[in-house]
Structure 1
Amino acid sequence: MHPQIEDVYNKSVGILALIGIINFLLLSYFNKTLGIGIFYGALIFLATFFLCYIINYKFIENSDVYLFLLSSLLVELGLIMLCRINPELYKKQVVFYVIGAFLFILSTIMTNYFIKRVKNPLLFWLITFVFLLLPILFGVERGGAKNWIYIKGLFSFQPSEIAKLFFVFYLSSNLKEGKIKNMSKFILEIFLIIVLLILAKDLGGAMLFYLTALMLIFIATSRYDYAFLGILFGIFLGLAGFHSFPYIRARVLAWLDPWQDVPGRGYQIAQSLFAIAQGGFFGTGLGLGHPEYIPAVATDFIFSAFTEEFGFLGGQALIILYFLLVYRGVRISLRSIDSYLSLVSIGLTVFFGLQVFTIIGGVIKLIPITGVTLPFMSYGGSSMIISFTSLGILNGVWISSREEEGIG
């Protein structure tokens, strides 16, 4: 690697470590009750980061190191906010990061040995279907959606997060030749996936799956008629959902005018807007905001809490970090010679980008709130682990592309 590029990597690692040390020191200064546990958590995070960074940088040739750097910085900022909001959730999130970081390395290596070789659309569709069916049969309702599986005494997870990966594999394996062989079968299979998400009352998930399918179809086929019909059908589904499901209607009405019923349906978005406004341009300062007033602040509304304490500038910095991750994903897709791997890369990137847009757009009242989490920052093991696995696959595709180009 060129010495100047290597110097940039090393400086980026140093900045990431410095940000964590300064912020955790500030937290311990303003909140003496946090105790020494936060430093152990911070040390575990930094040790995991440095170990996985060294493996990725030194031992995996041609790796896109910035994928791991950017995502780890987002995790670090999320951990800082979680430590501020709920120290117990912070400790669990550190464990999720450790698992996710090593799965990033594993999925990078496995891309060549599994993902690159297995291209069976029926298998991928069946796995997606089963994972989305599980919460309907055995799941519990949480936040209005029945999309969680609880294994008593052990852990809970969100099957739809795992289903995202296999749904992208399914779409990519079907579209790798740039056309749809059996249109009626393809539409029916996608429709059944969306129906399962609607039955689970997972509005955000249904929207993400549908839009990802629509965008991937257009990218693969370049057919404007498919895109136009897909948009029309999406509008129809949205209107049907508004008139058929009270919880969807309540969210849309709260989005249109939260001030009509602030103590009721408009409470979440109103508190989010108050927090963002309170932060102003530079923020109230770490530890000086009031995240306790924001509902679901550790999951759906962590961006609001972050913007309150770090201000408009901090919020924009976060958006830029997410934009850079999306850019890396698009770049990897464009560099891939294999059409299947290229579609897998852009599919995972589209899923990621839509999720970021949906949650940030929801908390700033750009679009209705859908209940999805902010990748790498919001509390949640399923989201953290699958997000890192997705980035590992992108990294594996990048390595494969570089090898095909003869760059060693």
Structure 2
Amino acid sequence: MVHLIVQLSKYIMIILFLIYTFLCFHLFKYPDKPKKQKHIYNLQRFYMFLIHLDGFLVLFVTTMDTKIIGFYIAQLVLFESIYLIYHKFYKNASELVLNNMVMMLCISMIILTRISFDKALRQFVFVLAGTIFAFLIPLIMQKGTMFRKLTWTYAGVGIVGLLSVLVVGVASRGAKLSLTFGPVSIQPSEFVKILFVFFIASMLYKSTDLKQLAITSGVSAVFVLILVASNDLGGALLYFFTYLVMIYVATKRFYIFAGGLAFVGLGMYAGYHLFSHVKNRIVAWLDPLSVIDKAGYQVCQSLFAIGTGGLFGFGLGQGLPNKIPIVSKDFIIAAISEEMGGIFAVCLIMVCVSCFLMIFNLSMQMKDAFYKYVALGLGSVYALQVLLTVGGSTKFIPMTGVTLPLVSYGGSSLLSTMIIFGMIQGMYIMQAAPEKRRNIDDKRRKDHETKNRQKQTAKEPGAQGSQQRRRKPAAGSKNSTKTQK
């Protein structure tokens, strides 16, 4: 009976997620129909909560652990609270971005609870903290006016944060990534990447001449080199590509982008010969089976999980995700593919793509150049992080150790991504507010012009005569009869 429930539930989740994903893109067909859009958003939320319910129902049936029921209810209350607060205070926020954020959090809670209930519980605490940031940041962005002026503050705080990891950071898998404070571990590079985007945006906002580009490139190089010195090559790659995208869009000079790609190639070649763990990852990428007992073990286990799961997966609780080292962080997409199916995993990737398209569209619509660059940079960070995680898990590119935003386990990654989504919502609200003000101003101007025309018409001699004629009593009226008498 349990096996039947598990097998039936996986098909239900796949069908629901396919519909949800279709609606993410079908929505773009109705750009000027708010009622139709609202209907689609409501449908998405309905399917989302059904997926969430289905996943935890299966987890409870397979484990018969009553803690799962309480955990599910706590999540449901939190997610409903997110919608209530956003709809109450941020009416101009993007509903699709909000739906996708909650959808990915639902999937994260399902798969992490399957892998480790304790990890899922800790992740839920970070979701609570991230929710507070997601609520406060749009308000701060509306009230704050100093963000474009803090150029060197962004650079200074960011560089100090990365240097602190280089000097006193804790090494993990050959790289210094985090700072440890008792039981709490923080990965500063996850937050510094936001400061990095704001620094470049504020520099490009001021000017895009050769001198400004040289200064921007020099300071950006300091960020990247510190990450390289810390052996955080995945982070260095993320920062460098974000810099390239922002510079290229601001200058429209393709030779800068091409030169950056060539520089990345040279960096990979140098890293292959200078860093042993980089060499191991490249060897594991080229031929993981040749080093399956060493560097290729993670990649091989990931590929086995994706391959054996097939299109429909084994069902929650029926696979072996814990056979993959660090599955809850770097290889979360492999665990999802094994148990929830390859179709489900592809839908998750497409939801990430729809998020990037929304952020990119926001960047194109922003009138303020500073926030245009900020949106572009944050969208690039998000898209590159998804690409590096999925590409590394599927052997499309060498493994970089980057996590899947909002889905993988990790407090720093989750908090930084929710901060990014809060900033995106803040910019959506800022972008919608001037439009609303313009509509009000247009209405007031039209009303004012109408009143002026009426006054001018009333002052014209012909108009006065016509008004007098209109006021003159008709021949058959009582007043006319009295006058004749």
Measured against the shorter chain, the TM-score band is: over 0.9
> Which amino acid letter does the alignment assign opposite residue 390 of structure 1?
I
CA contact (8 A) 1:276 1:304 kept: yes
> Which amino acid letter does the alignment assign opposite residue 158 of structure 1?
Q
SS at match of 1:367: coil
Q: Deviation of residue 117 (structure 1)?
A: 4.0
1:148 aligns with 2:186: no
> Which amino acid letter does the alignment assign opposite residue 72 of structure 2?
A
Aligned to 1:167: 196
Q: Distance in 2 between matches of 1:233 and 1:114?
A: 38
1:7 aligns with 2:39: yes
SS at match of 2:259: helix
CA-to-partner distance for each residue in 1:225-274, whole Å, 9 max, x for gaps? Answer: 21122222222111111111111011001100001111111101000000
CA contact (8 A) 1:287 1:309 kept: yes
Q: Deviation of residue 290 (structure 1)?
A: 0.7
Q: Whose RCO is larger (CA < 8 A, sep 6+)?
A: 1
SS at match of 2:436: coil
Aligned to 2:133: 103
Greater Cα shift, 359-368 or 174-183: 174-183
SS at match of 1:406: helix
Matched residues, percent identical? 32
Q: Distance in 1 between matches of 2:147 and 2:165?
A: 30
CA-to-partner distance for each residue in 1:42-99, whole Å, 9 max, x for gaps? Answer: 2222211111111112321311122121011111111111111111001011111111
Q: CA RMSD in A?
A: 1.6
Q: Deviation of residue 295 (structure 1)?
A: 0.9
CA contact (8 A) 1:272 1:294 kept: yes
Identify unmatched segments of 5+ residues in structure 2: 1-32, 440-485
> Which amino acid letter does the alignment assign opposite residue 391 of structure 1?
F
CA contact (8 A) 1:139 1:147 kept: yes
2:422 corresponds, among 378, 392, 395, to: 392
> Which amino acid letter does the alignment assign opposite residue 149 of structure 1?
L
SS at match of 1:182: helix
Greater Cα shift, 54-63 or 348-357: 54-63
2:358 corresponds, among 328, 336, 347, to: 328
Q: Distance in 1 between matches of 2:156 and 2:207?
A: 22
Aligned to 2:96: 66
Q: Deviation of residue 177 (structure 1)?
A: 4.8
SS at match of 1:156: strand
Greater Cα shift, 6-15 or 282-291: 6-15
2:162 corresponds, among 132, 153, 164, to: 132
CA contact (8 A) 2:126 2:411 kept: yes
CA contact (8 A) 1:45 1:98 kept: no
Equivalent pairs, count: 405
TM-score under structure 2 length normalisation? 0.81
1:29 corresponds, among 46, 52, 61, to: 61
TM-score under structure 1 length normalisation? 0.96
> Which amino acid letter does the alignment assign opposite residue 299 of structure 1?
K
CA contact (8 A) 1:132 1:196 kept: yes
Greater Cα shift, 181-190 or 52-61: 181-190
> Which amino acid letter does the alignment assign opposite residue 118 of structure 2?
E
> Which amino acid letter does the alignment assign opposite residue 132 of structure 1?
L
CA contact (8 A) 1:122 1:170 kept: yes
1:344 aligns with 2:390: no
> Which amino acid letter does the alignment assign opposite residue 220 of structure 2?
I
CA-to-partner distance for each residue in 1:197-225, whole Å, 9 max, x for gaps? Answer: 01111110000000100111001110112
Q: Which portions of structure 1, spanning 4 or more consecutive aligned residues, are displaced by more than 6 angstroms?
A: none
Q: Deviation of residue 299 (structure 1)?
A: 0.6
Aligned to 2:205: 176
1:313 aligns with 2:312: no
Cα distance change, pair 4–92 in 1 and its aligned pair in 2 (3 A): same
Q: Deviation of residue 116 (structure 1)?
A: 6.4
CA-to-partner distance for each residue in 1:297-355, whole Å, 9 max, x for gaps? Answer: 11100100100112221111111110111011011111100010011001000000000
